[in-house]
Chains A and B, each alone.
Chain A
Amino acid sequence: MSITVDLTYDLAKTLGIRRFEIEAPATLQDVLRLTRARFEGEDAAFEKLTRVTGFVVNGVLISHGRGMETPLKEKDRVSFLKAAAGG
């Protein structure tokens, strides 16, 4: 089993995929590293698209838990998150 990584719309559009899977166990640093790797050296584009972007693990914003230290296990769902307002 693995961990699902959901991308923001802009990341998904740029990479042509909406989500990918990584092996468990993992860390959020792994998620960042593996997402960045998909940009194949285009670091500036990656930085721009992930500016002011949070992480949510299983629906919970990581800053409400253990922050970047949040451990990831099998079946977890990690989402990149942009704040928004609707109605």
Chain B
Amino acid sequence: MIKGYAGRILEVDLADRSFAFKPLDEDIARLYLGGKGYGTRLLYDMTEPGIDPLGPENPLIFATGPLNGSLAPQSNRFAVVCKSPLTGGIGSAACGGSFAYGLKKAGIDILVLRHQSATPLRLEINGDRDIVDFLDASELWGKGTNATQVALGKGRNHAVIGPAGENLVLYAGIVSDERIAGRTGVGAVMGSKRLKAISVTGTRKLDMEDENKFKDYTKWLRQLFRDHPVLGEKLRRYGTMGIVNTTNARNIIPTHNFKYGHHDDAMNVSGEYLEDHGLVGVKSSCIHCPVACGRDVTLEGVGRVKGPEYETAALLGPNLDIPDLRWVNEWNYLADDLGMDSISLGATLSFAMELQERGLLQSGLAFGDPTGIGEMIQDIAHRRGLGSDLADGVKRVSEKYGGKAFAMHVKGLELSAYDPRGSFAQGVEYATTNRGGCHVQGASMYFESTGPLTINPQNLKLKAEIPVVQQNLACAINSMVLCIFTTYGLIPKAVHQMNPNGFLHRTIALLFENSGPFYRLVSGLKLMPLLWYEKWLTYITGEKFTSGRLQEIGERIFNLERMYNLREGLTGKDDTLPDRILHESTFPHLRSGHPLDQLLPRYYKIRGWDEHGVPLPRTLARLQVRL
């Protein structure tokens, strides 16, 4: 077995309560790494087209990669893959916490859960004794994710669902410690299996090709990250909410259901404001991560809890016209404890508010008014009254009540908190990402709207190229499995210290913006390892990794996801953006919204797809994507 892998897949049948350890396929590991890549390959091979995402045929796959179980910073995350009940296409989400570490210590690369239990169940996996216990979870059923994990106790690593998952909220997530695999409804799939929790334990050691080189390099890199202006300073000091004032200034923070990109009081939900108002602690929330982007806040009646992330702060703050940290903290806690994706939740609530504003729905929710929101979040998680409709997400609510023009989703997945009208590459990324409108499948906005060196985000230059390279890289990162925030380290410290109004800054940005084919060429070079990703993989596995090979692996995964979506009935027509984003301008100098129609053909061409967004046979052959 290639080093860095445990070499085992644990397959559990929840219907007949059986399990089997199977060998990891080395060829698949070479082609797809692990994590999301390996998981997608398994999903494609294991399932027939057209299965019900909430039916017994939909497997729920927890996948680690070769970097999990190591002490590499930001490396203890796992991927969850299944058919998404929210989009009908590929379902995938990544999560921090400690579960990935636990799985690897148990000697399990991938855990596949098949079929459904008839009654509430939890699993206890002991990787040292190779035992899986199937235990009754009736007493845990209905409990929040916090109480569930407390009841399960310390000393093992858990992945659990809350009431939202139990009640099949289509954007329910799976929680490990205080982190959530939030997107695409993976928690609803776990709920459909009546599986409340998985606990894992083991003491196996990760076998590496060159442990000394790995250790030395990681030590050096930890220091580099510690000194890095984003990884070591800003993220650590302000958390992800440290970006609020930047997106607000750039006019891309969702406000009033994405009607505007700026809110006069957005500062009230910023990381800086939190530091001065109610921050009680800074922490990692993901095992072994020195970046520590997690925050702690205090909630009346509850105590110390994990604070919100940027996405939550924006979508439950300015997006609802309620930029008030007290409310955001409370609703964030509710979403986490009930076990649901706060991005989809925020976008669904703002959609319900706009429906109310336009007289299309009596939701009882109004922009700028916190009244009833906490209760509605509970109703959504328990599928009570109107909450049951809102539990199905923006797309389905718009099909029932109208308002498609301002239904903020792509492929059924609610948009993240970067308005693409001020970030054209991010818009292409939203439109084309296989799991739907999400920002962490590439994070293109960092290179055009938020980072220290940004190209002009509102012309056509490089706006198709950046998403391709970034989506490929993100696919590879989600298959190692690393945190996507590692990409923030790509821009060195010196660039962060440049005057953004100065000549040098402008010149470099212009050069980058006009680098087109050269940029793609350099990204695809297969000469040697350039970044930490390739070096780590080389030291761990003993295989030669280069940036080009990583791009190719990422591209392969992206194309396989694409083929899965096509197989499940999605088409190029789903590569679009909400009407509001395409046609309404939020910038005084622009008449319209995002120019997707001008960028999509170029994006398809670079990808080696036809004009309908279908990968060409030669593209699939080059990438060795077997169907």
Contact = CB atoms under 8 A, between A and B. Distances in A.
Contact of A59 (B261, B276, B484, B505): B261
A57 to B, nearest CB: 10
Interface string A31-45: 000000000000000
Contacts of A61: 250, 454, 456, 500
B512 interface: no
A59 B252 contact: yes
Nearest to B507: A63
A49 interface: no
Contacts of B267: 9, 12, 18
Contact of B422 (A9, A52, A59, A84): A59
Interface residues of A, number: 32
Contact of B506 (A6, A19, A67): A67
A10 interface: yes
A84 B244 CA distance: 9
- The winner among B241, B250, B276, B496 for most chain A CB atoms within 10 A is B250
A79 B262 CA distance: 11
Interface string B216-260: 000000000000001000110010111111111111100000000
Contacts of A82: 245-246
B155 interface: no
Contacts of B272: 9-10, 13
A58 B251 contact: yes
Given A59-B587, A85-B240, 6 more contacts: A59-B250, A61-B456, A64-B455, A79-B248, A81-B500, A83-B500
Interface of B: 230, 234-235, 238, 240-252, 261-262, 264, 267, 270, 272-273, 276, 293, 309-311, 422, 439-440, 443, 446, 450-452, 454-458, 484-485, 488, 496-502, 505-506, 509, 586-589
Interface of A: 6, 8-10, 12-13, 18-19, 52-56, 58-64, 67-68, 77, 79-87
27 contacts: A9-B245, A9-B272, A54-B500, A58-B251, A59-B250, A59-B261, A59-B422, A61-B454, A63-B500, A64-B455, A64-B509, A79-B248, A80-B249, A81-B500, A83-B451, A84-B243, A84-B245, A85-B234, A85-B235, A85-B451, A85-B485, A86-B242, A86-B247, A86-B309, A87-B240, A87-B484, A87-B485
